[in-house]
Amino acid sequence: MRPGNNPIETYKASKEGDGLRIREDLPRFIQQGYESLTPADKELLKWVGLFFRRPTPGKFMMRIRMPNGFATSEQLVAIADLSERIGNGVLDITTRQQIELRGYTLAGVPEIWETLRGVKLQSLQTGMDNIRNLNGCPLAGLSSHELLDASSIVLELDRIIVGENGNPEFTNLPRKMNVTVTGCLENCTHNESQDIALVPATKALNRTTQSGFHVLVGGKMGSGGFTIASPLGWFVQPHQAVEIVIAIITLFRDEGPRDARTKCRLAFLLEGWGVDRFRTELAARLGWNPLPAGQDARTERHTDHVGIQPQKQPETYAVGLNVTVGRIPHGQLRELARLAQVYGTGEVRLTTGQNAILINVPQKRLDALLREPLLKELSHEPSRLVRGLVSCTGIQYCNLAVIETKARAVEIANALEQRLGPDGEPLTIHWSGCPAACGNHLAADIGLRGMKVNVGGQSVDAVAIYVGGRTGPNAKAAQPIMEMVPCDEALPDVLATIIKHLDLFKKVEPHPGIKDRVFMVPAYGDDESDGNGHRVGRVAGIAATKEGVETMISPRTVKVKACEVKEFVEGSGKLVTISGKAIALFRVGERIVALEAECPHEGGPLQDGTIEDGCVVCPWHNYKFELASGQCDIDPSLRVGTYPVTVEDNVVLVEVPT
């Protein structure tokens, strides 16, 4: 595999390339306490599913691996009990069809792991440079709207990649990989945003129509935006599916880039190689050539599996329940498990929309189930503005988020329902608390990305608003139409206007260049109303430019030699130390710029970052800082110092205070 050149690669090297070995250090961490954890320890613990949460010091989050979103009532009861006894009672269903346990300490980890093992669950390889929870249609094997049941492929992949104790063969990827294998015809998973996706397809072979998959590669949602996965032009038969996925993973493991973290996803290997070379290299590894592509079997429709749906099994139903923004207290989870046992076969399916499905409900028991009190809280008939509501964790528990998302998403949805009423076609509204896009905001009808803006000298929560995103056969990344919209009492009015004119807003041109960016802001007339006493926003465009900002320099400064121009490597930053201060240098065209090397968010090494649109992008969490001013693009409270640079006789001189 390629050599690595970023801090995470260094951390992995300290464990001989196997992050799972951090398990050996857990007894010491428990004894010494969380305060003893180094930055390397915090990152490596993610290999075993333990996530240090900066907003709740000493309390951790654990991702539980649940391939295809399959769960049993016994498993859900065990998770609910752990949450009540050891955690903080708060559980979240994620967009990767798994559950996150919150609020436990390191001392509780051994008991949690033992309990999970007892119900055939685990948390291994759920973070960092691993194959994350494997996704698939939650109604696999049950839906009449599927070409084939792909769940056995998902489960076999999980057995190979993770198994019971983790598999070091798959723990040293350049970055994370998201994988989906589905036979659903109605696009219930976000296939085009996956590193690897097998989607249902048919092909005429030997005078018969065969069912199988098309192969999509290189999709992503974070690391610079939504990249739509590229088709390899292959038709894969079901018995070939596991081999194809494993071959793609190992090709990425061995050949993927390992320098700037923001450029290490599979999408960037595809970008560098091109699809033709990637296909050739992959076929060489396989030792055989897959068949040419057939016919995409999917419809244009997107389903969320919420509501009452007949299964392919006679007189049997699935009941999809809306778990609003995925947040479910331990008591509700325990009751959900009880209903699965009483009315079904003790099985529950989790969806990428953060919802839950009770399955195998006999028709004769359906009415009694619908009368259960829990279904008034987790409705099978949610309103159109709540049904498609998805949210990341937000600032309450996440290290990366800059605004609150879950509670605000619910509040805004309720306000929108008051303004717009309950009638109309369902639409998806997705919230992400930062550019990492964990809420999949770029794949929604309306997407909201959190940021901070300066209003009257105060830093306040705000969002950028996107419209028109979708996955499926005609996938499209949502386009930004408004920037820096404060999350105040006017936001519901702004969103109500967008929803009422959504088709018009979807026709906006792609985002202009940064120097010509148009920031869309709401404008209100004193006499404008929707007839119900609510203001309705008119949208106005205000042009703004990003001009260079002069750096304020102390009158008493000195020019210090930093390096020579010939020492710069194209596309890479350079770290120097001047007067005990770590400074990152970048060559941008004919200019050289200098700024503090430590990211003020969580200490990421900015010299390992990339330059995009006049900003340096932190390699750890994608925070951007303007090269001219040092200002963070999403949180005005964060800033790095900048320094004037001159070049004399090919020597780089940095001006620093004396």
Active site residues: 63, 175-176, 433, 438-439
- Is the alpha carbon torsion for 159, 160, 162, 167 positive or negative? positive
Contact call for residues 365 and 404 (beta carbons, < 8 A): no
Residue 474's alpha-carbon distances to 187, 443, 470, in angstroms, are: 11, 12, 8
In terms of C-beta density within 10 A (0-12 exposed, 13-18 middle, 19 or more buried), how is residue 648 classed? exposed
Q: Which two tokens stand for residue 191?
A: 């296939």
d(CA 437, CA 537): 27
* Residue 78, both tokens: 């065990």
Burial class (CB in 10 A: 0-12, 13-18, 19+), 548: exposed
| Among the listed residues 409, 319, 329, 332, the one whose alpha carbon sits nearest the alpha carbon of residue 362 | 319
Identify the burial level of 413 via C-beta atoms within 10 angstroms of its C-beta, where 0-12 means exposed, 13-18 middle and 19 or more buried: buried
Contact yes or no for 587/601 (Cβ under 8 A): no
Is 608 strand, coil or helix?
Answer: helix
Is 157 exposed, middle or buried, given 0-12, 13-18 or 19+ CB atoms closer than 10 A? buried
In the beta sheet, which residues pair with residue 483? none
**DSSP state string for 611-642:** EETTEEEPTTT--EEETTT-BBSS-TT-B--E
Q: Which residue has the tokens 């996107």?
A: 466
Nearest CA to 101 among 110, 112, 115? Answer: 112
DSSP per residue, 444-456: SSEEEEEEEEEET
Count CB atoms within 10 A of the CB of residue 180.
28
